[in-house]
Structure 1
């Protein structure tokens, strides 16, 4: 009996085709993971070396389940596969090659909270307004830049980004980005985006390293290829350039993460990248009933950017899809709760069989209230995870500090926790001592103890230039006048820390250094116990004797159990001599556990929580990859689903439609689509129209289609060649108007230039809201009479549509003029022009042409004088 006998013909054909580029288009519920699993098992069965197979996924959970299943099929050889998330695999490579990039092999990995904390400190150090420079907004800009392979140096020097940041009232973003990168490098830490960015830098700057991994990975497989961003796409493309045995699996109809940088064109253009690629389509759905499958087909067929496919199923016909209409959002919650109650009674269903899906997190309140009234248990998917609890972050902070004493965020979290009498004033002085030599707080502690830093500061550090922000903390200008003056100032700062405080600091340093010296030779579990006791936290929790402290103790015990389990599971590591992924022999050290924890994604939750017998409430983005017997999709209203800020271009609307498709295809047995006639927003009652997506449905598969009114959007289309909505009859364009939905409080105005909101975003793992954590929306306007055109983002305007190839970084794409400014042919010397800021003036001369055209203009206004303007950015109009 063949290993592949359990696959259907299409799945088997895809699994057996092992040579050359392969694209597997897998519809919802079509057995995508099963096919990929059996394909890898088949490769091993026919003799492929597991060390030379690279399989990339988006969650650790998916990787573990696939590896476990492959092990069952072919035995222990599966343990040697290079299989994991993009971030975990490339973190392994970066640790093995850390010396090339100037990092320690034990570099730390910051999560979003730690990155935000660092940005908050930089904003404070630069004396900027924290309300204007919200760390979530700044981090979003930084994250999207890195995922577009734009370095901090290039960002800070590029006028287009400055113009865009100024428009967003954050003109100092480039300087913050640069300082953020410098401090991260000094502390030998990376964030999630750095794992992709630095892998690209490694392969660009060290071709011998790229060649090594090209030779190693004979077979490359990528799951969920439609969700890859530019950084991931380029890494995969470079690695596959060797053997070209690349297999990508995905569904263009489920590409819903553009706000994280994902680019649907990666999968749509795969055959352009690899003209010889063979394409397989998995179109048989094993999940849903016929009515649900055929209804979902009727949704996605309205998209133009898609790979044609017709999903079908042999499952039962099932009930038709139900449309629920409610008078208000409160009534909608009550209606959904009563439906769940009735189905449970009539079909003997369990609470865990139900899911309620919504577009944004704030919609859950009405559902929660109604479920509580009926005593129906529920859970909010993506709530506070185990590893984000304070006591867990505290002890993990100590683990990180021991492994890397220069980890600034870990140090600041732990240095006075539990309380040691080391106050904010002392910490500021330590930061000063370190910063004046190009280091951090740990280097300041070294300076205090030794009169100099033991570890090198930032390469090429110039305190007068690179630490000028310290003037905001009261450092006098004369301290920078000479090396001797700087030394005297540092000595004065050190002398201002009293002897008793110094003694506490030195004792703590001794503890950290003593543990650090042992951790390479000590089992991770034993080291974790030693740190737990040495930290003082164990003593503090025991002394409190409260229910809260007991709960904290239990959670820490659970963490130590996790360390023990990790040590016993025989994890894999990169052999630094051969570069092969091998089972660890001997001591499993604590830094490996920390990497494993740092790379957990939102879906890598504890199994007992996932199996809890409760109704699941979650955003549609968070639901991707999951399935439930009974699904309710609520808030199916225009300007909510689709979201109002995603109505400006056809591409945006098509992604919203794909998101709706994802919601519908989560259902196995029965599906309800719900909308309300009015909804409370910002204390006002909005009157709502049913979503255009409801009105696009094939009514053959609806139980009660008469509920839906005539489509108010009939006849509206989006033409490929333009950026304005137009009527099919006559093609009349609608201009801009005053119907800006996005300017309500809490929304931050129109969507940001990266395609998401102006709020924080976890680009490496997400938070389930779909828009980076901002769960608010403005007022619905009912039937829109027009749509405000929104320029498509591009690199040269600071908006990251076109992405420069890393080989040419930091130069923008060749042949691109960028921006929307006028060309050199529009201007002549002597012309009168008007500038939006400087007023009227006369062109004196013109330099350059095309993208480099500059105007030298003498402006009339007193004090303005002569200015040199780059035409592609300057907003100048000819007036005479």
Structure 2
């Protein structure tokens, strides 16, 4: 046996050495799939296959690079360099360049990136006299991408009555025209976008049998990584190319199929045997990453999915401890518990912050976690994204907040003067800026008195600038009148349309922006509540912005700093990674599974797979947390633990030692509760008639706690801080109580603003 095969286990070795036809390697989490792929390619080369006739397809350049490096270590760089190895797009782009004349392109065609595509679609919308508010560019791009990945041409799109009916009811009946216009623009420009690469490859093979036959004969062996992530066009092109030699090996794990929003179709791997009748299946079930208990939890969860290839991953590592399920009273308490737990575990294990990862379902959840980690001086990094206050939509909203307290802030004004779009173009902004510089005043001064500063405008532009001035002035007046930060923020959300303008576009990226903006409103409300409970009167927008600035300054450290840090990321971003200690937060219904993904069995099963991916990132310790209440759009709403927790064998979960802290979900926790999603109303800024109403709706609704029955030693449940014991009561001049909270430490609260109930 070749030396490099000695390290493989029995299942891995069988998969590597099989050469009898098509094969499927089901690679469970942490089972060494990359080792199998690289060793199989080395084995094929060692057994006479020409590396130039081996096609190996991956989803990322990083994966292709790492595989090539490993293969080079096994067979040498010269042979490794000859492989047709790379991403789907890079490999088939080569084929298109060789055969561009067959599909009506010159060989020097260019590839549009995302910004090129956006620019082209914006121009098409303008040509068709369509409003971007009715046809959001990102949403249009998503529709076109989905059509191409399904191999639907513009003519097919327009001829499909079901598609036309769907677009009609979505109030976007002209999507087909936009698609056709974009298609024509690309053709006329001798250009393709990334989706076109696979689209035209399939067209090339369909319309040119001689070209297809050439490549079918040329590629003796085809290997595909992460097959569960393939879409229809990728699946079809592999199927077409493998028909002559029938030598194809696909590696993947249906239990880790979590990218349907990108077009991935789990059926490609589940039904592979129908496409390759002689398919041989190998299951890699030995996990080299996690403890057996962590794997038992993952197995217990995923076995509840109906649509799956049965498998049961196991480990030769230690059995490991049961997984604690931590019940927090609030989302704030949850984040505080997580921060404290990390500090505690690091001290006990003498470990590194690099050993910890916090996984969440949505980007918006990072805000409270970041805040509590900062308070405990725990360094952290946001993997694959920006910290909360660095995100574009948050910066946009903060600029509105800044304008309400300092309208002379030119940087803030320039950022939001035409966001959301209100018809104030760049030329107008430059005119305003030039006048401000000439007179050494702020841009706001010029907008307020354009004639005084010699700003010449046509009537339409003057009207738009005046509408902007009235809107900002209304916010200034609220702040001047002493309204608190939450009241001002609510008014800004209601009338500026920074949130409502996002509702028409339901792409995953846009939904994330909506969630982030809602979380910012939560931050403002929590700030107001906390300051009031301390007995302080200053809860203005200026005070909130001061707190945010401190947080932003801490976030803007050296990005290249490689010092140990806790990693924060979404579960989607965590796929393929591993950490010694993993904490999964917000495991609640409508959060996990997401409220956007609970309409069908297929969606719920993908959410279950997502939690499976989260759990199997952990090597030694895994912790699951949930909250029984959470701020949503500035209001507190009850939450119930995720239905997925009921899927897990309770014997594998750590039962509570302290019922107020380490609580496993009881049966009552799973009883449905009414939970309403509050969405700020869309209101027009003209005239600002709704100002008083919006402010009134944002006024504090609680009159605070009741002193009746309150005594030293009493147990209370606080809306934000959870359970605690009253240790002191002061009655002059205003009643204050000192409470030792179970998880939040000692707090001094002003009774008339404190939101709690006595529980014992």
Q: TM-score, normalised by structure 1?
A: 0.55
1:223 aligns with one of 214, 222, 225:
225
2:344 aligns with one of 338, 342, 345:
342
Name the CA shift for 1:157/1:623 in 2 (closer, same or farther; >3 Å). Answer: same
User: 1:645 aligns to what?
Assistant: 596
1:784-835 deviation per Cα after TM superposition (whole angstroms, max 9, x unaligned): xxxxxxxxxxxxxxxxxxxxxxxxxxxxxxxxxxxxxxxxxxxxxxxxxxxx
1:679 to 2:630 alignment: yes
Report matched runs for 1:276-425 at 5 Å: 276-383=278-385
User: 2:236 aligns to what?
Assistant: 234
Report matched runs for 1:71-470 at 5 Å: 71-75=72-76, 76-383=78-385
Segments of 4+ moved more than 4 angstroms: 608-612, 711-714, 738-747
1:709 to 2:660 alignment: no
Name the CA shift for 1:102/1:611 in 2 (closer, same or farther; >3 Å). Answer: farther
Which runs of 5 or more structure 1 residues have no equivalent in the other structure? Answer: 391-422, 426-607, 717-737, 748-880
Mapped contact 1:644–1:742 kept (Cα < 8 A): no
Q: What secondary structure is seen at the aligned counterpart in 2 of 1:307?
A: coil
1:64 to 2:21 alignment: no
Rounded Cα–Cα distance in structure 2 between residues aligned with 1:742 and 1:682: 8
How many angstroms does 1:624 deviate by?
A: 0.9
How many angstroms does 1:169 deviate by?
A: 1.4
Name the CA shift for 1:32/1:745 in 2 (closer, same or farther; >3 Å). Answer: farther
How many angstroms does 1:188 deviate by?
A: 2.0
Report matched runs for 1:403-802 at 5 Å: 613-704=564-655, 707-710=664-667, 744=679
Mapped contact 1:695–1:711 kept (Cα < 8 A): no
1:86-112 deviation per Cα after TM superposition (whole angstroms, max 9, x unaligned): 111111111222222222333222232
1:583-638 deviation per Cα after TM superposition (whole angstroms, max 9, x unaligned): xxxxxxxxxxxxxxxxxxxxxxxxx9696632211111111111111111111000
Mapped contact 1:352–1:611 kept (Cα < 8 A): no
Mapped contact 2:637–2:675 kept (Cα < 8 A): no
1:448-483 deviation per Cα after TM superposition (whole angstroms, max 9, x unaligned): xxxxxxxxxxxxxxxxxxxxxxxxxxxxxxxxxxxx
Rounded Cα–Cα distance in structure 2 between residues aligned with 1:746 and 1:312: 51
1:346-385 deviation per Cα after TM superposition (whole angstroms, max 9, x unaligned): 2122222211111111111111111122222222122379
1:188-214 deviation per Cα after TM superposition (whole angstroms, max 9, x unaligned): 222121111111111111111111111
Q: What secondary structure is seen at the aligned counterpart in 1 of 2:314?
A: coil
User: 2:745 aligns to what?
Assistant: none
User: 1:763 aligns to what?
Assistant: none
1:481-513 deviation per Cα after TM superposition (whole angstroms, max 9, x unaligned): xxxxxxxxxxxxxxxxxxxxxxxxxxxxxxxxx
Mapped contact 1:630–1:669 kept (Cα < 8 A): yes
Report matched runs for 1:28-39 at 5 Å: 28-39=29-40
Rounded Cα–Cα distance in structure 1 between residues aligned with 2:82 and 2:570: 36
Name the CA shift for 1:216/1:166 in 2 (closer, same or farther; >3 Å). Answer: same
Name the CA shift for 1:740/1:246 in 2 (closer, same or farther; >3 Å). Answer: farther
Q: What secondary structure is seen at the aligned counterpart in 2 of 1:632?
A: strand
How many angstroms does 1:261 deviate by?
A: 1.4
Name the CA shift for 1:612/1:19 in 2 (closer, same or farther; >3 Å). Answer: farther
Rounded Cα–Cα distance in structure 2 between residues aligned with 1:741 and 1:32: 44
Name the CA shift for 1:106/1:613 in 2 (closer, same or farther; >3 Å). Answer: farther
How many angstroms does 1:184 deviate by?
A: 1.5
Mapped contact 2:629–2:637 kept (Cα < 8 A): yes
Which runs of 5 or more structure 2 residues have no equivalent in the other structure? Answer: 393-424, 428-558, 657-662, 683-760
User: 2:721 aligns to what?
Assistant: none
Q: What secondary structure is seen at the aligned counterpart in 1 of 2:287?
A: coil
Name the CA shift for 1:346/1:739 in 2 (closer, same or farther; >3 Å). Answer: closer
Name the CA shift for 1:275/1:746 in 2 (closer, same or farther; >3 Å). Answer: farther
User: 1:53 aligns to what?
Assistant: 54
How many angstroms does 1:710 deviate by?
A: 1.0
Rounded Cα–Cα distance in structure 2 between residues aligned with 1:746 and 1:364: 26
1:10-57 deviation per Cα after TM superposition (whole angstroms, max 9, x unaligned): 100100002301111111011111111101111111121001111111
Name the CA shift for 1:741/1:256 in 2 (closer, same or farther; >3 Å). Answer: farther
Name the CA shift for 1:320/1:713 in 2 (closer, same or farther; >3 Å). Answer: closer
Mapped contact 1:645–1:742 kept (Cα < 8 A): no
How many angstroms does 1:746 deviate by?
A: 11
How many angstroms does 1:118 deviate by?
A: 2.0
Mapped contact 1:354–1:631 kept (Cα < 8 A): yes
CA RMSD of aligned residues (A): 2.6
How many angstroms does 1:6 deviate by?
A: 0.8
Q: Quick check: 328-337 or 668-677, which moved more? A: 328-337
Rounded Cα–Cα distance in structure 2 between residues aligned with 1:655 and 1:746: 32
1:138-187 deviation per Cα after TM superposition (whole angstroms, max 9, x unaligned): 11111111111101122133332222112111111111111111112222
Rounded Cα–Cα distance in structure 2 between residues aligned with 1:148 and 1:57: 20
Name the CA shift for 1:108/1:157 in 2 (closer, same or farther; >3 Å). Answer: same
Q: What secondary structure is seen at the aligned counterpart in 1 of 2:357?
A: strand
Q: What secondary structure is seen at the aligned counterpart in 2 of 1:156?
A: helix
Q: What secondary structure is seen at the aligned counterpart in 2 of 1:670?
A: strand
Mapped contact 2:598–2:604 kept (Cα < 8 A): yes
Name the CA shift for 1:623/1:165 in 2 (closer, same or farther; >3 Å). Answer: same
Mapped contact 1:11–1:35 kept (Cα < 8 A): yes
Q: What secondary structure is seen at the aligned counterpart in 2 of 1:379?
A: strand
How many angstroms does 1:740 deviate by?
A: 10
Q: What secondary structure is seen at the aligned counterpart in 1 of 2:564?
A: coil
Rounded Cα–Cα distance in structure 2 between residues aligned with 1:746 and 1:8: 60
Mapped contact 1:692–1:711 kept (Cα < 8 A): no
1:324-351 deviation per Cα after TM superposition (whole angstroms, max 9, x unaligned): 2112112211111111111222212222
Number of residue pairs the alignment of both structures matches: 508
1:705-744 deviation per Cα after TM superposition (whole angstroms, max 9, x unaligned): 6521117769x9xxxxxxxxxxxxxxxxxxxxx9997895
Name the CA shift for 1:746/1:179 in 2 (closer, same or farther; >3 Å). Answer: farther
Rounded Cα–Cα distance in structure 2 between residues aligned with 1:676 and 1:206: 59
Rounded Cα–Cα distance in structure 2 between residues aligned with 1:86 and 1:745: 43
How many angstroms does 1:74 deviate by?
A: 0.8
Mapped contact 1:644–1:741 kept (Cα < 8 A): no
Q: What secondary structure is seen at the aligned counterpart in 2 of 1:645?
A: coil
Rounded Cα–Cα distance in structure 1 between residues aligned with 2:152 and 2:251: 28
